[in-house]
Amino acid sequence: MLIGYARVSTLEQNLDRQIDQLKKSGCKKIFTEKISGVIKERPELDRLLDHIREGDTIIITELTRLSRSTKELFKLVDIIEKKGANIKSLKEAWVDTTTPQGKLMFTIFAGISQFERDLISQRTKEGLSSARARGRKGGRPPTSKKDVALALKMYDSKEYSISEITKATKVSKTSLYRYIQKRQNSRK
């Protein structure tokens, strides 16, 4: 049986395009979800995984609808394959575990994707280490004492809104509240 899975990240988004594509591809049952892909608990995906049987093929419109990371994608494909089912993406033709070539391509591309993420992470760490060795700390530069003093003065006058203060002084709202709290704690 062909079973579809459609997901959008927010309640405001529409599933119609995905559902139309899944129906056109022959899906007899479609599980739909309006939930972010980064959230681990996806009830409809869990229902789908419980529902599939040997010989079924899960159809997705594109990989991002199923998984946000290579690690999670491999985990899901492993669960699906252990149940004797397959997975096929309409957008990424190389994701088709119904064929030996598709399985090979899936493994290769997923590995390359993970390799690329690992390289980016490694370069970022090396760049941060190099910058620290040169005395740079990274992050935002500290807010000038002059701007903080002006922001606190404007706040104390009760003549300005928080947004007016942040626009005039370039002190963020979070920083302003932190300086107000710090000042209150030092007076105790």
Same domain, 8 and 49: yes
**CA angle centred on 66, ends 64 and 70, rounded to 5°:** 70
Q: 44: number of CA atoms within 13 Å, CB side?
A: 17
Is 56 within the bounds of a domain? yes
Would you please indicate which residues are annotated as catalytic (active-site) residues? 9
pLDDT for 24 equals 96
The answer to whether residue 172 is domain-embedded is yes
Q: Which pLDDT does position 50 carry in this prediction?
A: 93
130 within some domain: no
- Looking at the structure, do residues 108 and 175 belong to the same domain, yes or no? no
Do 15 and 107 fall into the same domain?
yes
Q: What is the pLDDT along the chain (188 residues), one digit of tens a residue?
A: 999 999 988 888 889 999 999 999 999 999 999 987 677 788 999 999 999 999 999 999 988 888 877 778 878 888 998 999 999 989 887 778 888 888 888 778 777 777 877 888 899 889 888 888 888 877 777 888 999 999 999 999 999 999 999 999 989 898 999 999 988 888 77
Number of structural domains (the chain) is: 2
Alpha carbon distance 158, 100 (integer Å):
71
- For 166, the token pair is 């942040």
Q: What's the CA gap between 37 and 53, in Å, rounded? A: 24
97 and 159: one domain? no
Residue 108 lies in a domain: yes
- Which domain CATH number covers 34? 3.40.50.1390
pLDDT at 96: 81
Contacts of 1 (CB under 8 A, 6+ apart): 28, 29, 53, 55, 56, 57
DSSP H/E element including 162 = helix 162-169
